[in-house]
């Protein structure tokens, strides 16, 4: 059902929609739409994409970046009120959902070098007289949220990126970590993982600094001359142990309402236990320069102008942190466009609104497109259009602290979402450069590719899909993590644009990995070196990220078109052939890894391979029947609704009844953040992580659970197929799911 690349969007008479009649179109083919509806849908989408403008995107971002707006602050509430007003002005029903979550704020942060000389720290981020933002006293001091209060004076050891293998090398070199303050650089994993591993190794404290090799001058010109991190720039951020569960630490699995029953802080398993603080490269430099011990390996050497040593040495640090832990309010803003045929079915779109500082890139560049989608949908509503399924637009709060707003809302609405949610569409960083990227469950990957065929790339004037597919062999956007550099990655099979797997680090996490809602994440990436720093402001966006604001428009067009397709399709446009190929590859790859590691005899993959093949047979049969039905149409609205309901159940089939070992909140058989990655996805996590621990009994058990999940998915696919085969086919419009 892939749309012909030569197809010109149809212009047709839309009864009741307010558009005038034009010449009869050529045949229009859209995935999931009957012939009688495809031309109308193409025209609706064309109209939608005509509404967003660079000027309005610029205005929205300017308003959103007028003040720092950390979650739970009055400034944050003002942004909630702005988003609420814009939703309502667009003609949408909108409200604020408030939750009470544990949010810490810093009272005192001291990182003083006491030997071999005295130097007080941390150094404030440098200001420039022409940029008022850089002198705003309301900017929160750089801190790592959820670090405990504490005071420690100790010698320092350097641990590279702070991953388990890094500590293993230290042990091999005879370097004692226990009782020391560890200094590690940002990158390679979520910062909470660094705190977790430092705690595992009995460090007395942890300093996480930004090395110029990763996002500073080695990458290019630094702010304000260029987009990269200057020497005083600091990456703020949460160190909550989010690979255990997301959201409020005190209310796992339930919404953090005022009446919620809460754990004590001692009972909360996601809270770190050693004092941790971020540093700039300027403050890290004298600490690292005065370390002794063995010379660090070549791959551990950063870009500061001296040789890095493992330590310890002359450097001794006095680290003193005082944190104010309180329940504080956060404010999600929720708008709905009610569905006309199946109002219970929901396509949810979300972007977080809170920021560590001004948040021009993270997350304002995604909030502006969300507002633009709302206004464009409002324009369509005024002309008589109504979606078949309800579209929900969500402005999440508290994401930066640990996916608070999205998780609490998803937990509060878990029953409804489990029954009726069609998909969750996430945009976090909407624009930090010109390179489009997306991650999704495999069933949504073909839809993303097809939608980008209809959007123009602002830089070249060609179809966005063409540019994206060309770049897929060269560039990768690290989803959920700061976009700091381009790295090589193979293109998808057949030269298609690559759609990545979903790990964690953004608001799709509770939807996919806890509730089994098909999800995607998208945006434009680039040279973004000021992640979570003072300099993520309007000036940066206007000069480096998206000076013309045309990429913001393109992001809106992709985002909104995806929502329209999912909300209006006759047959939900999921491709389980793609999912089947992915599952078979996941199983093959894991088996090959085991053999390569000399553990090929530890697990038997015969049964799970057979189950994956059967899933593929069912997926191919269903795809063939969907093609036939799409061409013929169907008049039996009830049977069509039953089919679509079965189709969204496939993703739910992949949920593990008891969740993953030691982290039951994560329930998806195929995707979870890695315990030692945080951002990046670990595929078949239960099996793979048990195998890495050489816990073969657990690995075998988890492999059987994966097999059962695949078999449940096959049953659901078969039920969907039977529904179509039993239904009568004829032209005509039936309501959506």
Question: H/E element holding 114?
Answer: strand 93-115
**Residue 2 CA to chain centroid, in angstroms?**
27
Q: 445-452 and 550-568 are packed helices; what angle lies between their axes, rounded to 10 degrees?
A: 130
Token pair 């039993």 in the structure block, residue: 726
Q: What are phi and psi of 294, to 5 degrees?
A: -60, 150
Other C-beta atoms lying within 10 Å of the C-beta of residue 662? 12
Q: Which two tokens stand for residue 160?
A: 């590279």
- Residue 420 CA: distances (Å) to CA of 31, 162, 346, 415, 642: 21, 42, 6, 9, 12
Q: 299 an active-site residue?
A: no
HEC per residue, 665-699: CCCECCEEECCCCCCCEEECHHHHHHHHCCCHHHH
Across 373-486, the runs of DSSP E, i.e. the strands, are: 389-396, 421-426, 435-440
The 3-state secondary structure of 228-240 reads ECCCCCCCCEECC
The residue behind tokens 């590690």 is 184
* Best CA proximity match to 517, nearest among 615, 353, 647: 647
Tokens at 267, concatenated: 């009972």
What is the secondary structure of 586-608 as a DSSP string?
HHHHHHHHHHHTT-TTTS--HHH
Q: How many CB atoms lie within 10 A of CB 393?
A: 26
User: In sequence order, which residues have a C-beta less than 8 Å from that of residue 449 and are 6 or more positions away?
Assistant: 465, 469, 496, 497, 499
- How far, CA to CA in Å, does 112 sit from each of 136, 222, 282, 613? 24, 26, 13, 60
Of the candidates 405, 339, 446, the one whose C-alpha atom is nearest the C-alpha of residue 93 is 339
Catalytic residue among 43, 125, 282, 399: 399
Nearest to 612 by CA among 504, 713, 472, 501: 713
**Alpha carbon separation from 642 to 111, 331, 618, 724, 735 (Å, rounded):** 61, 35, 18, 9, 11
Tokens of 451: 């939608």
Give the integer Cα–Cα distance in Å for 706 and 691.
Answer: 14
Quick one: DSSP state of residue 280? Answer: -
What the block records as the tokens of 216 is 């500073």
Closest CA to 282 of 122, 158, 109: 122
> How many other C-beta atoms can be found within 10 angstroms of the C-beta atom of residue 39?
23
The whole-angstrom separation of Cα 701 and Cα 696 is: 8
Tokens representing 427 are 């945009």
Between the CA atoms of 48, 49, 53 and 56, what dihedral angle is there, to the nearest 10 degrees? 40
Which residues are designated catalytic?
399
């Amino acid at each position: 059902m892939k749309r012909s690349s030569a197809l010109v969007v149809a212009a047709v008479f839309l009864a009741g929609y307010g558009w005038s009649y034009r010449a009869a179109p050529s045949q229009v083919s859209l995935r999931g739409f009957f012939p009688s509806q495809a031309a109308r849908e193409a025209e609706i989408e064309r109209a939608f994409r005509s509404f967003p403008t660079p000027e309005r995107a610029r205005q929205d971002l300017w308003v959103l970046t007028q003040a720092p707006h950390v979650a739970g602050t009055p400034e944050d509430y003002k942004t909630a009120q702005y988003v609420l007003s814009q939703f309502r002005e667009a003609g949408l029903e909108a409200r604020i959902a408030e939750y009470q979550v544990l949010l810490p704020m810093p009272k005192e942060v001291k990182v003083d070098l006491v030997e071999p000389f005295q130097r007080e720290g941390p150094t404030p981020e440098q200001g420039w007289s022409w940029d008022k933002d850089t002198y705003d006293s309301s900017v929160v001091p750089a801190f790592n949220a959820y670090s405990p209060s504490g005071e420690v004076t100790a010698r320092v050891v350097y641990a590279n990126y702070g991953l388990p293998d890094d500590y293993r090398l230290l042990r091999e070199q005879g370097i004692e970590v226990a009782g020391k303050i560890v200094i590690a650089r940002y990158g390679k994993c979520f910062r909470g993982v660094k705190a977790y591993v430092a705690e595992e190794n009995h460090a007395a404290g942890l300093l996480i600094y930004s090395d110029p090799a990763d996002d500073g001058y080695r990458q290019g010109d630094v702010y304000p001359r260029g987009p990269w991190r200057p020497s005083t720039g600091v990456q703020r951020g949460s160190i909550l142990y989010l690979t255990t569960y997301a959201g409020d630490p005190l209310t796992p699995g339930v919404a953090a309402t005022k009446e919620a029953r809460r754990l004590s802080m001692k009972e909360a398993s996601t809270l770190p236990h050693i004092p941790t603080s971020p540093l700039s490269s300027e403050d890290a430099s004298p600490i690292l320069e005065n370390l002794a011990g063995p010379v660090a390996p070549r791959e551990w050497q950063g870009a500061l102008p001296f040789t890095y040593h493992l330590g310890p040495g002359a450097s001794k640090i006095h680290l003193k942190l005082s944190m104010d832990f309180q329940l504080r309010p956060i404010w999600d803003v929720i708008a709905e466009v009610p569905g006309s045929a199946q109002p219970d079915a929901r396509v949810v779109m979300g972007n977080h609104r809170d920021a560590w500082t001004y948040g021009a890139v993270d997350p304002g560049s995604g909030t502006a497109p969300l507002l633009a989608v709302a206004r464009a949908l409002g324009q369509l509503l005024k002309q008589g259009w109504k979606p078949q399924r309800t579209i929900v637009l969500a402005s999440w709060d508290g994401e930066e602290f640990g996916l608070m707003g999205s998780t609490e809302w998803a937990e509060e609405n878990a029953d409804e979402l489990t029954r009726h949610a069609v998909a969750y569409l996430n945009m976090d960083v909407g624009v930090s450069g010109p390179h489009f990227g997306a991650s999704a469950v495999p069933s949504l990957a073909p839809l993303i590719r097809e939608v980008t065929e209809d959007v123009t790339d602002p830089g070249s004037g060609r179809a966005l899909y063409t540019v994206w597919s060309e770049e897929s062999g060269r560039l990768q956007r690290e989803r959920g993590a700061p976009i700091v550099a381009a790295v090589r990655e193979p293109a998808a099979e057949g030269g298609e644009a690559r759609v990545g797997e979903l790990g964690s680090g953004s608001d799709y996490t509770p939807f996919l990995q806890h509730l089994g809602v098909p999800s995607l994440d998208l945006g434009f990436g680039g040279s973004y070196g000021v992640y979570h720093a003072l300099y993520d402001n309007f000036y940066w966006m206007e000069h480096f990220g998206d000076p013309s604001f045309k990429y913001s428009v393109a992001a809106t067009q992709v985002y909104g078109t995806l929502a329209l397709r999912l909300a209006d399709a006759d047959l939900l446009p999921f491709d389980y052939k793609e999912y089947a190929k992915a599952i078979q590859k996941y199983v093959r790859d894991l088996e090959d890894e085991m053999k390569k590691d000399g553990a090929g005899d530890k697990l038997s993959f015969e049964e799970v391979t057979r189950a994956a093949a059967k899933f593929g047979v069912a997926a191919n049969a269903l795809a063939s029947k969907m093609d036939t039905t799409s061409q013929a149409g169907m008049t039996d609205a009830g049977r069509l609704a039953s089919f679509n309901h079965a189709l969204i159940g496939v993703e739910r089939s992949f949920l593990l009844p008891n969740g993953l070992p030691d982290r039951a909140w994560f329930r998806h058989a195929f995707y979870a953040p890695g315990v030692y990655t945080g951002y990046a996805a670990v595929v078949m996590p239960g099996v793979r992580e048990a195998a890495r621990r050489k816990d073969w009994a657990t690995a075998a058990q988890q492999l059987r659970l994966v097999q059962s999940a695949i078999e449940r998915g096959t049953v659901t696919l078969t039920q969907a197929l039977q529904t179509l085969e039993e239904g009568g086919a004829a032209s005509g419009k039936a309501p959506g799911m």
